[in-house]
Structure 1
Amino acid sequence: MPIELLKSLRLHKDKLWSLDCSKGLMATASSDRKIKLVNLQNLDFKLVEELDDSTHKKSVRSVSFRPNSSILAAGSFDSTISIWGKDDSDPLDNPETDLLAIIEGHENEVKGVAWSHSGEFLASCSRDKSVWIWEADELGEEYECLSVLQEHSQDVKHVVWHPNMNLLASSSYDDTIRLWKEDADDWECAAVLNGHEGTVWCSDFEKSEASLRLVSCSDDATVRVWKYVEEGEDGEDIWTLDAILPNIHSRAVYSVNWSSHGYIASAGSDGILAVYKEVEQGNWEVVAQQNEAHSVFEVNMVKWTRVGDKDLILTGGDDGFANVWCFTP
């Protein structure tokens, strides 16, 4: 079996919305307002720390580690973003994580946060229909808002950066994905991807340095791959639909993640965890499928990571569990 359940971790008493990994740590966020840190090294899976649940007044919806760092950003339904950090010399041996900053600005629930590849920028998105781009200092304690992007017509669900470019994708309740890039000290919409017939919950860039492809998922139960073609005459970038992946899901797909070795994982409200492989350009097949990945509960998040020589898929569900799956190609 390509997917094997290694560990099922009961971390939260309510929905587990989001998770991320860095330097051997996994962070999880939940409707119970808690953020948990778990040791992934040596497949230990022990709880390292529980961050102060009095910091946010409502659900913590999204977490994101600054690249190659233990600095963590957390977006909440209370409209704020908290920034946490600890000694990077050995974060697993340091039990103390400090609250470095609280960022305010959004007028409604913060649905997503994401760091750029360099750690210079933090993006956030909200139910207030906006995407904000913040510039962070080296210590992660000071934040300046560089741009407020308000071209989505509905709730913005998710933001993600390209792995080695200052290119940002945002996914929205308005059924679109927008791509943003810096131009003349400001940020502008570089492209709008249309095609989904429902809320776009999540997107993720291919990890190849030379690639400009993006995978997305939606309420329409589809997973789609888009690719950059060229810059248009009007200055906007031209992207095209590269593939619609095999129809595995029967209901909304909430999360997609593109692994560093080329596989795509998806998960959603039908409880299915699926893994896809590209067999030739634009032609994908399902290589693994796990039904009821969180029993009868919806799966809100899927994330690839690597520990030692093992490729792991992390999932978070409405049951409050983080499940750790081993994937064998």
Structure 2
Amino acid sequence: MPITLLKSLELHSDKLWSIDSAKGLMATASSDRKIKLVNLRATDIREVEELDDSTHKKSVRSVAFRPHSSILAAGSFDSTISVWGQDENEDTQGTFQETELLAIIEGHENEVKSVAWSHAGEFLASCSRDKSVWIWEADEMGEEYECLSVLQEHSQDVKHVAWHPSMNLLASSSYDDTIRLWREDSDDWECVTVLNGHEGTVWCSAFETSESQLRLVSCSDDATVRVWKYVEEGDDGEDIWTLEAVLPRIHSRAVYSVSWSPGGFIASVGSDGLLVVYKETELGTWEVVAEKEEAHGVFEINTVKWANVNNKELLLTGGDDGNANVWSFDP
């Protein structure tokens, strides 16, 4: 199952931290304080816009598109979140233009490490070096935000937040080596599970897109990729989860990012420069089906995302070289 490089875009002058895609558009975030937009539908896969780099005073660490829209949130090391709106009228090339700043969200006391939208776009989650996770309620236009809850149960820096694709279930990954799962309870949010097992910082997690079962993949400084499975609701109201699998140990150093495709494949990247794709051969048993060494040359890879463009599954990666690489994957 080959991974083929379709395009390497030299977008940033410093580390590329985060990638997201929607409607054939890719957004990237970097230490150079810039956010770039790329048209994945164009035959030449080209950059189409650079957002105002004076908006954030420090690195932009995370970008996330709001589901079913072209609204983009970006979290920065300057402790703020910016929200951007793009013209919904596409030209013949499928390019969104005239991006405008809709809002600046303040509240965190330290670097914002990750932002993520809930499946319906109603909630925006953010996490920070200040050890907290914030839940924001957004209006339809993406211009007004109300903080609904500040979650402070992690004991260290929170690295990443991820929503389930069809329910209001949030996962947060932390420097404290744990993953916490959060659900809405009346007018507040509560932690329903703590996943323990990683022996180092948990950098990222991603839910399976299938609705037939509830599973989560995570990755860590301990060089492992793990799959967790929901079992049942406990007597105390908390959810019971179990470690279903530790994927084949291919990475030799920290794994920074994982992504679970609608087709059932898991991709991982990390500080060893590997891009790895795994397939489940039977329930709970996984094998490596594709591996690309030095996917960004000698540089570490910080982020990986699956994207469906023109009915094809693509892999998007970003690294310390400042490049965004677009890969085809032939299952």
The one-letter amino acid paired with 2:198 is: H
Would you say 1:213 and 2:225 are equivalent positions?
A: no
The one-letter amino acid paired with 2:206 is: D
Q: Which residue of 2 aligns with 1:273?
A: 275
Q: Which residue of 1 aligns with 2:58?
A: 58
Q: Which residue of 1 aligns with 2:80?
A: 80
Q: Which runs of 4+ in 1 moved over 3 A?
A: 91-94
CA distance in 2, matches of 1:149, 1:136: 18
Instruction: Note if contact 1:42-1:308 (Cα within 8 Å) is conserved in structure 2.
Output: no
Match of 1:132 among 131, 134, 140: 134
Q: Which residue of 2 aligns with 1:188?
A: 190
Q: Which residue of 2 aligns with 1:142?
A: 144
Evaluate the alpha carbon distance shift between residue 27 and residue 94 of structure 1 in structure 2; reply closer, same or farther with a 3 A threshold: closer
| Alignment TM-score, normalising by the size of structure 2 | 0.98
1:214-233 equivalences under 5 Å are 214-233=216-235
Higher mean C-alpha displacement, 60-69 vs 35-44: 35-44
SS in 2 for 1:296: coil
Would you say 1:24 and 2:33 are equivalent positions?
A: no
CA distance in 1, matches of 2:312, 2:37: 20
Q: Which residue of 1 aligns with 2:103?
A: 101
SS in 2 for 1:295: coil
CA distance in 1, matches of 2:96, 2:184: 37
Structure 1's unaligned 5+ residue stretches are none
The percentage of aligned residue pairs carrying the same residue is 80
Q: How far 1:94 sits from its partner (Å)?
A: 4.5
| Alignment TM-score, normalising by the size of structure 1 | 0.99
Q: How far 1:311 sits from its partner (Å)?
A: 1.4
Would you say 1:200 and 2:196 are equivalent positions?
A: no
CA distance in 2, matches of 1:264, 1:219: 18
CA distance in 2, matches of 1:87, 1:42: 18
Q: Which residue of 1 aligns with 2:330?
A: 328
The one-letter amino acid paired with 1:103 is: I
SS in 1 for 2:17: strand
The one-letter amino acid paired with 2:85 is: G
Would you say 1:34 and 2:39 are equivalent positions?
A: no
Q: How far 1:284 sits from its partner (Å)?
A: 0.1
CA distance in 1, matches of 2:116, 2:129: 16
Instruction: Note if contact 2:25-2:95 (Cα within 8 Å) is conserved in structure 1.
Output: no
Q: Which residue of 1 aligns with 2:45?
A: 45
Structure 2's unaligned 5+ residue stretches are none
Q: Which residue of 2 aligns with 1:71?
A: 71
Q: Deviations over 1:285-312 (max 9, x none)?
A: 0000000000000000000011123211
Evaluate the alpha carbon distance shift between residue 283 and residue 148 of structure 1 in structure 2; reply closer, same or farther with a 3 A threshold: same
The one-letter amino acid paired with 1:18 is: S
Q: How far 1:219 sits from its partner (Å)?
A: 0.1
Q: Which residue of 2 aligns with 1:179?
A: 181
CA distance in 2, matches of 1:3, 1:94: 28
CA distance in 2, matches of 1:68, 1:125: 23
Q: How far 1:320 sits from its partner (Å)?
A: 0.2
